[in-house]
A = this chain, B = another copy of it.
Amino acid sequence: MNTMLLIAMAGVVALIFVAVFYWLVSRESPGTPRMQEIASFIREGANAYLRRQFQTISYFIVGLAALLLIVMWPRWQIAFGFVVGALLAQLAIFIGMNAATRANVRTTQAATTSPGKALVLAFRGGGVMGLTIVAFNLLGIALLSVFFGVNPQHPENVSLLVGFGFGASLSALFAQVGGGIYTKAADVGADLVGKIEARIPEDDPRNPGVIADLVGDNVGDVAGRGADLFESGSDNLVATMIVGLAFIPQYGWAAVLFPLISRAIGAIGAVIGVLAVREAKGRSRITSLNIGFFTTAIFSLLAFYALGQWVMRDIRIFYCLSLGLACALGTALIVQYYTGIDQKPVREIAEASQSGPAITLMSGFSWGMESAVLPKIMIALANLAAYYIMGGGIAGFFGIAAATLGITEMKGIIMAGDAFGPIVDNAGGIAEMAGLSQEVTESADVLDAAGNITKAITKGYSMSCALMTSVVILFAYLVEATRLQGIEYTQINDVIINLAHPLNIAAIMIGTTIPFLFTAQTVRAVEKTAFKMIEEIRRQFREIPGLLEGNAKPDYSRCVDISTRNALREMVAPTVFGVIFPIAVGFTLGVWALASYLIGVKIIGATLAMFMFNSGGAWDNAKKYIEAGHLGGKGTETHAASVIGDTFGDPLKDVAGPSLHILIKLQNILAINLLPLFIAYSIKWP
């Protein structure tokens, strides 16, 4: 118990730095009154949305908590943990988004004096989100463990934590789907009518959708992605602790503590990494960011060595951890190839735009499809390597869990880089809207380009994390399923999910359809909301006299309202579907077929998400490549074709893709939560 509290101290340290960075950001000047006014619009819009989103989510939290309490009785801890997980997720994104909506305008202001300072400021603003997530993961689980009596005498109590994971996942899915729909509908609407039809620049104050668009960056990219990483961190911790249970005979109590210690290393690593991003003469933006990432990576590597060698007393665990870290790097490289503006795929897509939008689409579609291949094969082989490094058998699971922790521990710094993206994006928008000098706008644009890279890397990274994590959650499911049924699980074939059995074939076939259904729903939600947004923006341009000439003000709030209302309405169905399916399969096809179903969901979900991220990112950058003056530049038919690709890619890369991450873990952790019910009440097929 003392160890547990000791580990939790790393979370406290991270929280202290959250306060420090928040203060460092807040004390900077927020600029001119006009800038402050715009920033306050954004902040109020974002906060108003988050409040209403929380309201909607809270009905589900209360309802599901009551249900869990009843069906799980007397294991009340499941429901309690569920509520804590769900609330902590919401609190984390609230804190992180608040920092982001303060950092944006201050970054604009800083850019008027020093671009280097602007970078550091924006990164620290993003660091608040990164550190909050890691700290809450760690503190939430460590304190609940103490509270639930998880200790060397009762290691099996660790399975009471699954409610926490489910709460975090459910909360995250709502936040990602809702925030995603919000931001993309606003973005697509503002761009299509503003840039294409009215031919005014991006973020122009005459565009009625511009505030909704800037709010969207915060509620979608900051809050949504934050919730995503919070949930994958939570699920990961809970799952690896449960898997650790199976290894108590081999490593003792350390097997269960191991994930928490890794997370503590991640928390400290993130603090050091954010601190390492500093201003220096003659250092390029991307170099500054890279220094942050590599500082964290090197610190982690050293700490992992110590962890493997002296805590676990098994150097092979260090190898597995490092393998995970290498996968993070590998994913980043692959993503950079497929979406990088100076790479072959993006350039080919841009060239295809010369033959019109249909050819652009084919090109981006095919590069995106291809981009899903290598990362997944890499992870498949890394898992296999980790498995055999530990000698295979059930012990090999521990190796895979360690590799997963290795990749996950970059989370804090990666999330800081990710939140950095929308902050500088917002900063550029504020500069444009406030009519600041071209110098400032350009300096913001340079930051924005760096932000696009960090955002692309985050997506690939989160997908690799999600895929590795989802394998470990599957093991956690198997460990729990055997423990609850009193099956001994010490040999690899003690548990059999036989793919030669038609029951499991049917289950995996059904599982593979779920990501398609979910993608259909989320993309359609964006399409419908964007449709309404387009109608409204067209109406304002048509009906408000003098708007295009700059003599009248648009009605920003109606656009904000359309995004808000529709996002809240449309986020419910996909989430509810995501919850119902595994329950239905569990009761009708049974515990082992459900595992097969879950594998179906995750293997297809991950590939689909990867395709959607990368094709979306590549289309985006092909457009940017043309806008940089290649192939005729802005205003040409080639550019128009590339804009269509980019717009189509938006909901894929920012809504459907990231939501799929969460879905694949949500369904698995939910299944673990309900295992006792499935074991007791499911239909038993021969």
Residue pair B370, A611 in contact (C-beta under 8 Å): no
Chain B residues whose CB sits within 8 angstroms of the CB of A370 once the complex forms: 516-517, 520-521
**Chain A count of residues within 8 A CB distance of the other chain:** 84
Q: Residue A143 at the B interface, CB < 8 A?
A: no
With A499-B596, A508-B603, A513-B372: A357-B356 Cβ-Cβ less than 8 Å:
no
A644 to B644, CA, bound (A): 10
Residue pair A358, B497 in contact (C-beta under 8 Å): no
Residues of chain A in range 142-180 having any CB-CB distance to chain B below 8 Å: none
Instruction: Render A388-428 as a binary contact track against B, CB cut-off 8 A, 1 for contact.
Output: 10001100110010000000000000000000000000000
A388 to B530, CA, bound (A): 47
Minimum CB–CB distance from A603 to chain B (whole Å) comes to: 5
Residue pair B362, A509 in contact (C-beta under 8 Å): no
Residue pair B599, A647 in contact (C-beta under 8 Å): no
Chain B residues whose CB sits within 8 angstroms of the CB of A393 once the complex forms: 686
Chain B residues whose CB sits within 8 angstroms of the CB of A500 once the complex forms: 474, 478, 492, 495-497, 595
Residue pair B499, A376 in contact (C-beta under 8 Å): no
Pick from B356, B362, B495, B508: contact of A526, CB below 8 A.
B362
Residue pair A497, B499 in contact (C-beta under 8 Å): yes
Instruction: Render A635-652 as a binary contact track against B, CB cut-off 8 A, 1 for contact.
Output: 000000000100110011
Chain B residues whose CB sits within 8 angstroms of the CB of A674 once the complex forms: none
Instruction: Render A501-520 as a binary contact track against B, CB cut-off 8 A, 1 for contact.
Output: 11111111110110011011
Which of A378-386, A447-455, A544-552 participates in binding chain B?
A378-386
Residues of chain A in range 2-55 having any CB-CB distance to chain B below 8 Å: none
Q: Nearest B residue to A686 by beta-carbon distance?
A: B392
Chain B residues whose CB sits within 8 angstroms of the CB of A648 once the complex forms: 357-358, 361-362, 365
Residue pair A499, B366 in contact (C-beta under 8 Å): no
Q: Residue A355 at the B interface, CB < 8 A?
A: yes
Residues of chain A in range 341-390 having any CB-CB distance to chain B below 8 Å: 352, 355-359, 361-363, 365-370, 372-373, 376-377, 379-381, 383-384, 387-388
Q: Residue A527 at the B interface, CB < 8 A?
A: yes
Pick from B376, B506, B530, B531: contact of A509, CB below 8 A.
B376
Q: Residue A183 at the B interface, CB < 8 A?
A: no
Residue pair A599, B508 in contact (C-beta under 8 Å): yes
Pick from B196, B367, B478, B496: contact of A493, CB below 8 A.
B496
Extra inter-chain contacts (17) besides given A365-B652, A377-B513, A493-B496, CB under 8 Å: A188-B359, A355-B531, A358-B648, A362-B523, A363-B524, A368-B520, A369-B517, A370-B517, A372-B516, A376-B513, A383-B506, A387-B503, A497-B500, A498-B498, A512-B607, A516-B607, A516-B611
